[in-house]
Structure 1
């Protein structure tokens, strides 16, 4: 009888954790906010030719458009208790006017949304 209680307790905790994960699985709109903030905080530092100083203001002024670009550049897979995001972004897709400049970076990110937060577990610059 004691073993049944232990198993039931473990199953109960498992169900609670699963429900907690499902309830806190972030939405696509939250990922868009996260991605735009990462562009502002991290990618702007990589901008060439003194554009790094202007980049944060550009991101702030064009947040709606950047969210659209992030959405178009991201594949989301929702597994109910977490979401997986694969994003391929390039400076050219964000600022087409700079497409003539050589050496502009492109990025590939793999991100997991879990417990209401996002965790980038792979980032490649190419």
Structure 2
């Protein structure tokens, strides 16, 4: 038996060729909100808390998200000021226990992420 390779994107339509057609990835979250969140790409840096990631990692992700035209999320336990400073679009994560909740940080956010269920926990 021979080996078969499948390219799922080509099963429904031809692949987009950058020099022939433009692929727009701009995404608007909450288009009817007073201040909708507009992202250049439909991907954002998910919430990872300070402590799980170092200061350098959090600020590097914030800078990278800004360069990519997307957002980054605070993660559990609040934020570090430089993370917000380097993020052009920043989501504040609010968890059930309200661990690290700070209403002043919430006011700085472009959007709020509510974490309702956690699928896995370590330990």
TM bucket (normalised to shorter chain) is: under 0.3
Query: Which structure has more helix as a fraction of its residues?
Result: 1
Identify which of structures 1 and 2 has the higher relative contact order when contacts are C-alpha pairs closer than 8 Å and 6+ apart.
1
TM-score, normalised via structure 2 length: 0.21
Higher strand share: 1
Larger Rg: 1
